[in-house]
């Protein structure tokens, strides 16, 4: 077998690759080499030359308990000997049943039903389709529009992209997307000087109310990312917005879809972000950390009321949506092992101590002369770095690698979403390494 490094330099020289990488300007890799990762252990990723990188963004926000986690590995090995996959139509299996029952117990209100898929975007599609279909079945076919938040992100399949508002992903595809309305974001970075985060969130909720007062008859659902708009650059907002949005949606008979694909499973400091507003959505979308980040698995949970409308003998009155790997047994087993880890290690409480520690040691970052809007919510930290360099993101990524860090800024926003197993020594390394990257930048 060829050495990875030889392979990748050949790749760069020829300027063509059999792997077409996601969210990547492929041509950039003529100047910036891809990093061939050979193995992962805990918070660390190891490349073919033996260099290691602290996975400070949990490999696109999915990994909760580290790479090659011994407990999840053991559960998967056990499951492999029993059943790797069976279609979930006409058949069922223990991991899917147990996972559904445990998720139902963990979620608020009457979210009693789990519809599985493989990735986050599919969970969004399912919520949108179910909402639309529900209103059809209830004799309100005119409720066929969706609303979402300015800067929101819900995935990149066509339906999910239609309710996404991130220009870099959406703009070019606009002619083949549905044109839905976006509501002002509650992200406090948009507040007026002197306006509190809460007041700004209330102002954004007021705009939502004004819109729905006029358009509720044609609106099926509002979809949003509770508390943190991830792809928007970790835009954070006050939970009062969620409370108000829930009240407004209930008043106007508009479904409330909470996309907790990125923020679920403890990321915001509570198991689900919606808990901080004490609300129950009509649909809850989960993915990423659901399987501990191990395997593609997503779920759209919904209420008894919605499920019952589809509980019918006629095919036109049922939800005939499917993905081949729906409820994959291995992925469900990884999810069960992940939930066990939460229970056995009182993770949410332990994370609060980690958050306190990281907040203490990030003071030099928060007060850095080129850092703006330093913010934290649960196990997510973010700030904007003041620079005019349009290539800041890729250059910062490269500079961070030299400090043994995997950082991947969203434009000028640097963020940390570390796996929950991060220890104090690793947190020190993360903060000191980031400071070095920023200081070198400030001097150059």
Contacting positions for ligand PLP (CB under 6 A): 119-121, 124, 153-155, 225, 230-231, 259, 261-262, 287
Task: Considering the complex, state which of residue 262 and residue 396 has its C-beta at the smaller distance from ligand PLP.
Answer: 262
The Cα–Cα gap between 436 and 428 comes to 12
Cβ proximity to ligand PLP: between 264 and 433 the closer is 264
Q: What is the DSSP string of 222-272?
A: EEE-SSEESTTTSEE--THHHHHHHHHHHHTT-EEEEE-TTTTTTTTSSSS
Q: Say if residues 311 and 302 touch (Cβ distance below 8 Å).
A: no
Residue (55 or 119) nearer to ligand PLP, CB: 119
Half-sphere exposure at residue 123, Cβ-oriented, CA atoms within 13 angstroms: 30
CA-angle at 260, arms to 266 and 204, nearest 5° = 110
Contact 15, 30 (CB under 8 A): yes
Distance CA 418, CA 368 (A): 21
Q: List, in order, residues 6 or more apart from 139 with CB less than 8 Å away.
A: none
Residue 148: C-alpha distances to residues 57, 300, 330 (Å): 26, 17, 33
Which CB sits closer to ligand PLP, 236 or 309? Answer: 236
- Shortest distance in whole angstroms from residue 79 CB to ligand PLP: 22
In the complex, the smallest distance separating the C-beta of residue 332 from ligand PLP, rounded to whole angstroms, is: 16
Tokens 């901080």 -> residue: 276
- In the bound state with ligand PLP, the residue whose beta carbon lies nearer, of 158 and 363, is 158
Minimum distance between the CB of residue 189 and ligand PLP, rounded to whole angstroms?
A: 18
- Comparing CB distances to ligand PLP, the nearer of 279 and 371 is 279
When the beta carbons of 20 and 91 are compared against ligand PLP, the nearer one is 20
Task: Give the bridge partners for 44, in sequence order.
Answer: 41, 54
What single DSSP character describes residue 185?
A: P
């Amino acid at each position: 077998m060829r050495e990875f490094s030889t392979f990748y330099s050949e790749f760069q020289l020829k300027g063509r690759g059999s792997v077409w990488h996601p969210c990547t300007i492929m041509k950039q890799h003529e100047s910036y080499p891809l990093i061939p990762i050979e193995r992962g252990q805990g918070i660390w990723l190891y490349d073919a030359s033996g260099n290691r990188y602290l996975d400070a963004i949990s490999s696109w926000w999915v990994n909760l308990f580290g790479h090659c986690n011994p407990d999840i590995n053991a559960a998967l090995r056990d499951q492999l000997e029993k059943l790797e996959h069976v279609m979930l139509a006409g058949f069922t299996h223990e991991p899917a049943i147990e996972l559904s029952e445990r998720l139902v117990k963990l979620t608020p209100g009457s979210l009693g039903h789990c519809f599985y898929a493989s990735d986050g975007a599919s969970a969004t599609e399912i919520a949108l389709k179910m909402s639309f279909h529900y209103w059809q079945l209830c004799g309100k076919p005119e409720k066929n529009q969706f609303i979402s938040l300015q800067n929101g992100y819900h995935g990149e399949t066509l339906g999910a992209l239609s309710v996404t508002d991130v220009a870099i992903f959406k703009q070019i595809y606009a002619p083949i997307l549905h044109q839905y309305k976006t509501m002002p974001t509650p992200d406090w970075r948009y507040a007026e000087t002197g306006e509190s985060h809460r007041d700004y969130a209330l102002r954004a909720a007021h705009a939502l109310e004004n819109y729905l007062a006029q358009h509720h008859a044609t609106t099926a659902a509002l979809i949003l990312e509770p508390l943190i708009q991830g792809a928007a650059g970790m835009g954070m907002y006050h939970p009062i917005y969620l409370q108000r949005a829930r009240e407004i949606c209930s008043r106007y008979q508009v479904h409330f879809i909470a996309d907790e694909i990125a923020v679920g499973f403890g990321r915001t400091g509570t198991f689900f972000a919606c808990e901080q507003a004490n609300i129950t959505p009509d649909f809850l979308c989960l993915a990423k950390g659901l399987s501990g980040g191990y395997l593609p698995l997503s779920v759209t949970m919904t209420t008894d009321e919605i499920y019952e409308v589809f509980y019918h003998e006629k095919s036109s009155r049922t939800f005939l949506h499917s993905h081949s790997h729906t409820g994959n047994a291995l992925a469900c087993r990884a999810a069960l092992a992940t939930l066990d880890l939460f229970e056995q290690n009182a993770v949410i409480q332990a994370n609060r101590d980690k958050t306190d520690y990281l907040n203490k040691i990030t003071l030099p970052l928060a007060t850095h002369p080129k850092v703006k809007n330093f913010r934290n919510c649960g196990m997510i930290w973010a700030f904007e770095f003041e620079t005019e360099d349009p290539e800041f993101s890729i250059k910062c990524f490269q500079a961070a690698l030299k400090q043994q860090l995997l950082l991947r800024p969203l434009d000028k926003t640097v963020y940390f979403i570390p796996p929950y197993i991060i220890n104090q020594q690793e947190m020190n390394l993360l903060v000191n390494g980031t400071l070095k990257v920023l200081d070198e930048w400030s001097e150059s």
